[in-house]
Amino acid sequence: MEIISENACFGGTQGVYKHASESCHCDMTFGLFLPAEAKDGPVPVLWYLSGLTCTHENAMVKAGAQAWAAEQGIALVFPDTSPRGEGVADDEAYDLGQGAGFYVNATQAPWAAHFQMWDYMAEELPEFLGNNFPLDMERQAITGHSMGGHGALTLAMSLPGRFKSVSAFAPICNPTASDWGRKQLTAYLGADEGLWAAHDASLLMRNTGFDGPVLVDTGTEDQFLDLLRPETLAAAVSERRQEATLRLQKGYDHSYFFVSTFMEDHISFHADALYGE
């Protein structure tokens, strides 16, 4: 592991680290905030998955999450959104390729060689973090924004028992039925739509649900609202009678101004689950 930077932050440490990924066959970078309590022993973990075009850095510097995490004694993990580097496939469009991994294991050329983001997020990075940092991996929660909200919801529902709680900011709720999803799922997984369902939060909610609390915020002025399709997740929550709080926030858009406004709510929500019995 290479230490890129470590800075004092709200009594703890905000670090950036690089390691060789066996899943993605390239070097991967992540941010990790450790609160002051980590000096005395393992602390609970909140994952933050970012959206399209982002790296590990966007939420780390824009979301305002460290202050609230420090108050609750919770670590924050900021993974990258895709493999990167020389020899890693890319696309000219912002919504495919580097910066747009969609948290899936690609099976199609040229993406399959590196874009194994599901395995990286579900298996490799958690194991790496647990082996190298004072983190209580028995107490994990997950959140994310946009594409990262999609990833947070699908990982939480597909890995029962892993996460105590899940939340999302403006998640892509129904990618199998929107232009913002069908393109990427076809590119990464192929034309067989039967393989896409495992990466659709609305379908997973209807069929599987989540054994714990769910919180989702979306802005009414989100410029991508028709692509996010929050109404499909709401319908699935209602059909399943899932424990969930789904909120439309009047006047807010898709930006980090929106995310940072409601970050305290989300971290407090996860703290209740992480510290509860």
Please tell me the distance from the alpha carbon of residue 187 to that of residue 170, in angstroms, as a whole number. Answer: 23
The one-letter amino acid at 119: D
Residue 132: partners with Cβ closer than 8 Å, 6 or more residues away: 1
Active site residue 200: no
Q: Tell me whether strands 135-144 and 163-169 are parallel, antiparallel or unpaired.
A: parallel
> Of 146, 167, 178, 202, which one is the catalytic site residue?
146
Best CA proximity match to 227, nearest among 189, 155, 169, 176? 176
Best CA proximity match to 150, nearest among 112, 188, 114, 124? 188
> Of 56, 222, 266, 270, which one is the catalytic site residue?
222
> Of 145, 254, 266, 270, which one is the catalytic site residue?
254
Active site residue 21: no
* Gyration radius from the chain CA atoms: 17
Active site residue 25: no
Q: Count of CB atoms within 10 A of residue 15's CB?
A: 18
Q: Count of CB atoms within 10 A of residue 26's CB?
A: 16
- Which residues are the active-site residues? 146, 222, 254
